[in-house]
Amino acid sequence: MEQYQEQLNGIFHALADPTRRAVIGRLGKGPASISDLAKPFDMALPSFMKHIHLLEDSGLIRTAKQGRVRTCVIEKKQFAAVETWLDAQRAIWEGRTDRLEKFVTAIQEQEDIK
């Protein structure tokens, strides 16, 4: 369980930055070279590479070098951990809202009886 929590912490940390979210969004359309990914951002390549390394360390992307070009691809399996966590959170909150609805309905019914 602790490893799962650490995995989620790394993923959410990686997704906390808008630059990294934009990279993930772009990679959702298909593989891209680092130079193509870096074009829309006003930062030096070494700074951009820190974002790439963090995404790779979190397991959200994978890079492969072919010749002088390093290409990035999204790792879909990591998103399954996020989906599992979100599903659990959704179930918790839906249960809470269902109980709240029952509570409010019961109060309204009691007031209608009076």
What is the band of 39 on the pLDDT scale with cuts at 50, 70, 90? very high
Q: Tell which wins on pLDDT, 40 or 83.
A: 40
Q: Tell which wins on pLDDT, 43 or 103.
A: 43
Instruction: State both tokens at 17.
Output: 């930055």
As a CATH number, domain 2-113 is 1.10.10.10
Determine which helix (DSSP H) or strand (DSSP E) holds 62, and give its type and residue range: strand 61-66
Q: What is the pLDDT of residues 54-91, one digit of tens each?
A: 999 999 999 999 999 999 999 988 888 888 888 888 88
Sheet containing strand 61-66, strands side by side: 32-33, 69-74, 61-66
Asked if residue 45 has pLDDT above 90, the reply is yes
| Residue extents of the structural domains in the chain | 2-113
